[in-house]
């Protein structure tokens, strides 16, 4: 996702490490394995607790609090206890990958189907969210301006 470069890089690093580790364990013939978890939106406080640089406004058109609220709406897809059950079930069946939530399955399907072209859809979604946010910000500023404007008394 745009504006999430460090987060995306760390997720890709964990995926690469976990997949390499699993293959190394298989080559050694040990009875221990590794499962790579691909979580979608899990309703935790990760967005609320996130540090958001003020410069994010330049990319998103939102202040930090608006960005947190939007992120919380987007990640509120899977309850943490459901995610834990899905992860445990994947580990028990020795799955190479476990996709958590319908949103993770959708992203996985689209990226496999479209390859790198999926990025155009991510950008489209991001721009749509920017416009929606900008429209709300404009409406709020307009309402604030109207409330602070003296009215003629007739």
Which residue from 11, 6, 3, 13 is spatially nearest to 107, judged by alpha carbons? Answer: 11
Whole-number Å distance between alpha carbons of 21 and 10: 16
Whether 24 maps to a domain, the answer reads yes
Q: What Rg, from alpha-carbon coordinates, does the chain have?
A: 21
Long-range pairs of 88-93 with CB within 8 A, sequence gap ≥ 24: 90/35, 90/37, 91/35
Q: What is residue 45's predicted lDDT score, i.e. its pLDDT?
A: 77
Whole-number Å distance between alpha carbons of 53 and 62: 11
Whether 153 maps to a domain, the answer reads no
Whether 73 maps to a domain, the answer reads yes
Whether 17 maps to a domain, the answer reads yes
Q: What is residue 136's predicted lDDT score, i.e. its pLDDT?
A: 60
Whether 131 maps to a domain, the answer reads yes
Structurally, how many domains does the chain consist of?
1
Whether 59 maps to a domain, the answer reads yes
For 123-148, the pLDDT digits (tens) are: 888 888 778 767 665 554 455 445 44
Structural domain containing residue 52 = 5-138
Whether 147 maps to a domain, the answer reads no
For 40-69, the pLDDT digits (tens) are: 888 887 777 777 777 767 776 777 777 777
Q: What is residue 151's predicted lDDT score, i.e. its pLDDT?
A: 45
| Residue numbers annotated as active site | 7
> What pTM did the predictor assign?
0.67
Whether 51 maps to a domain, the answer reads yes
Q: How many CB atoms lie within 10 A of CB 5?
A: 9
């Amino acid at each position: 996702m745009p504006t999430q470069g460090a987060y995306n890089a760390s997720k890709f690093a964990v995926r690469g490490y976990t997949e390499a580790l699993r293959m190394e364990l298989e080559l050694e013939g040990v009875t221990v394995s590794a499962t790579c978890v691909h979580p979608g939106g899990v309703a935790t406080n990760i967005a609320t607790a996130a540090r958001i640089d003020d410069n994010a406004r330049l990319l998103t058109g939102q202040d930090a609090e608006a960005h947190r609220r939007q992120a919380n709406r987007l990640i509120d897809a899977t309850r943490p206890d459901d995610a834990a059950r899905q992860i445990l079930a994947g580990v028990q069946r020795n799955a190479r990958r476990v996709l958590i939530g319908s949103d993770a399955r959708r992203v996985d399907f689209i990226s496999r189907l479209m390859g790198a072209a999926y990025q155009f859809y991510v950008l489209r979604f991001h721009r749509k969210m920017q416009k929606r946010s900008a429209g709300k910000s404009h409406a709020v500023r307009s309402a604030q301006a109207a409330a602070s404007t003296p009215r003629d008394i007739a």
